[in-house]
Amino acid sequence: MIDLSGRQALVTGGARGLGRAIADQLAAAGAEICVVDLATALDTAPLPEGWRGVALDLTGAEAGDGLNTTLADLGRLDILVANAGAVPPWRRVADLEFGEWDAVFALNVRAVAQSLSCAAPYLARSDCGSAVLMASINGYRAHPDQTLYTTTKHAVLGLMRAAALDLGRDGVRVNALAPGPILTDALRGRIEARADAGGTDPEKAIAALNAETALGRIATEEDVARAACFLASDMASGITGTCLPVEAGLP
């Protein structure tokens, strides 16, 4: 059993979705939890007693100061889960919108890098410092109409690999998770929106996703959360610079 008792974890985008599932799993293993998320997310997804919630826009001009203040208030950090991110609308290359491009890069890449940069000195002072960055299967494969998202997730893997070499000199491990399709509320919403626009019926679309995997089901939020907890723990003490797929066996 994984034991994270006495360890301080910070999870960005941890108020709901995958981030919340990861925070729940870390807490169940004994970690103290600090969640950084938008004020609107924290307002609509109350945190359990004992958790610390910090309202912060990680794409804003004050993100670095906010992260540094949060970390100083915590006083220590053993685990960083840089999960905050966004899935932009699907577009063909000719239809890319570069205002959208910059905004998604600001969250999916720059905010991950800034979170890791601010956390690095604290992780280095821990005797078990570990960072888990949220990538995607789109970090090592591509899909049509997902150029922007795919490019950001390739960038996250580059960041993880370079940071693992850099921070490894301080005893800090840096890894990434690569979830496949996960039936979060956000994914179900996108499937339903495509159905409303004349696409496949939602239940048929979900059944098709299930059928693509070796396990006959797509991975769940809990699957991803358990993988994050493993990478953050001493069970993975010899693992760094690695991207761990969590996709129920996609071909």
**Enzyme catalytic residues:** 149
Instruction: Write phi, then psi, for 130 (nearest 5 degrees).
Output: -145, 135
Going by C-beta distance under 8 Å and a sequence separation of 6 or more, which residues neighbour residue 144? 92
Kind and range of the H or E element at 130? strand 130-134
Burial 74-89 (b: 16+ CB within 10 A, else e): beebbbbbbbbbbbbe
What's the rounded Cα separation, in Å, for the pair 12 and 20?
A: 9
CB 14 within 8 A of CB 21: no
